[in-house]
Amino acid sequence: MKQLNILHTTARNKIALFSAALTVFFMGDSAHAQAQAAGLDPAKKALGLLQTDLKAIIPIAAAVILLCLAIGYAGRYIGRDTFVRWAIGVVIAGSATELAELLFKNP
């Protein structure tokens, strides 16, 4: 027997309508949230300092991890394919802060 898709279409339309209504409802609240954010200056300062520290720590940690991987590969503790996979991942993770700043920084 062929199953009817009427119920699925109706459910999708209701979900899309609900999502659109919810988005429109919360779009006006962003100005209200920005007005109340004035009391959050100490948290903004602390997170800014944390971001600055992480920009220095993450690349150094990635370099140390790459050094350990190279020693493990040279000592034949890990194989070439494992070394390459881990090295690519560590390089990407180490440069993630610069990549995020490059992609998401406002001009």
Retrieve residue 34's tokens.
């920005």
In a domain, 89, yes or no: yes
- 75 φ, ψ (degrees, to nearest 5): -85, 5
**Rounded to an integer, what distance in angstroms lies between the CA atom of residue 17 and that of residue 99?**
36
Give a yes or no: residue 11 inside a domain: yes
Residues spanned by the domain of 85: 6-104
Is 49 contained in some domain? yes
**Predicted TM-score of the model (pTM):** 0.58
Domain count, the chain: 1
Q: Which residue has better confidence, 38 or 103?
A: 103
| DSSP secondary structure of 23-73 | HHHHHTHHHHHHHHGGGGHHHHHHHHHHHHHHHHHHHHHHHHHHHHHHHHH
Q: Is the model more confident about 74 or about 100?
A: 74
pLDDT band at 3 (very low <50, low <70, confident <90, very high): low
Residue 1 within any structural domain of the chain: no
Number of residues that this document lists for the chain: 107
pLDDT tens, position by position, 18-58? 888 888 777 766 666 665 666 778 888 999 999 889 888 99
Judge whether 92 lies within some domain: yes
For residue 40, tell me if it sits in a domain. yes
Q: Is 58 a member of any domain?
A: yes
Give pLDDT, residue 33: 62
Question: Looking at the domain assignment, is residue 10 inside a domain?
Answer: yes
